[in-house]
Chains A and B, each alone.
Chain A
Amino acid sequence: DQQVKQNSPSLSVQEGRISILNCDYTNSMFDYFLWYKKYPAEGPTFLISISSIKDKNEDGRFTVFLNKSAKHLSLHIVPSQPGDSAVYFCAAFYNTDKLIFGTGTRLQVFP
């Protein structure tokens, strides 16, 4: 059972434009949602998170939006930069104390 889903395997965006990465989940008990970024041959690195009691969290160029009624969250990157090219994983966390990851979206930012 895939509790966290990222339905878009890839996304291509021009430098300077907005990148929007989407994620859906099925378990309403999740406490926190996180986005991780992964470069080839490296482990995932934490990017931004949001508590289930909030609907928006912003950190510089990165903003995460949570729509609990739709069980949907999104990551907005604006403006997108070539260094943002990576695989982005959505992940969810609840009281069993483990992160559950989506399958990832490969973002490519081109000049």
Chain B
Amino acid sequence: DTGVSQNPRHKITKRGQNVTFRCDPISEHNRLYWYRQTLGQGPEFLTYFQNEAQLEKSRLLSDRFSAERPKGSFSTLEIQRTEQGDSAMYLCASSRQGGTGELFFGEGSRLTVL
């Protein structure tokens, strides 16, 4: 299976703890995106990478959030000092540069902050 892979699929944590999500994109895709989805809403853009460069960050991405994509392959999204409002589905997607907007999404990582 060469689709987008996300781990873990579900994370339950206590408020104040740090969590990290990993995304492995489709191997030939050089763009990688992170989105967040809460109940009743569409996916909201957080950030994206072209190769290893982080090209854009949403204002939704507070200082507690950091994303990396070392060597332009997999990516990690870390949330420090989690809050209950961080509870959401975190979606990763990848695409080729210069495409027509078609992003390929993983199954998501659901975060529950108690």
Contacts and interface: CB of A to CB of B under 8 A. Distances in A.
Interface of A: 4, 6, 9, 31-32, 34, 36, 41-46, 49, 51, 89, 91-93, 96-104
29 contacts: A4-B42, A31-B100, A32-B100, A32-B101, A34-B102, A41-B107, A42-B107, A43-B91, A43-B106, A43-B108, A44-B105, A45-B105, A46-B104, A91-B42, A91-B101, A92-B101, A93-B101, A96-B56, A97-B31, A97-B56, A98-B33, A98-B48, A99-B43, A99-B45, A101-B43, A101-B44, A102-B42, A103-B41, A104-B41
Contacts of B91: 43-44
Interface size class of B (residues with CB under 8 A): 20 to 34
B108 to A, nearest CB: 5
Contacts of B4: 43
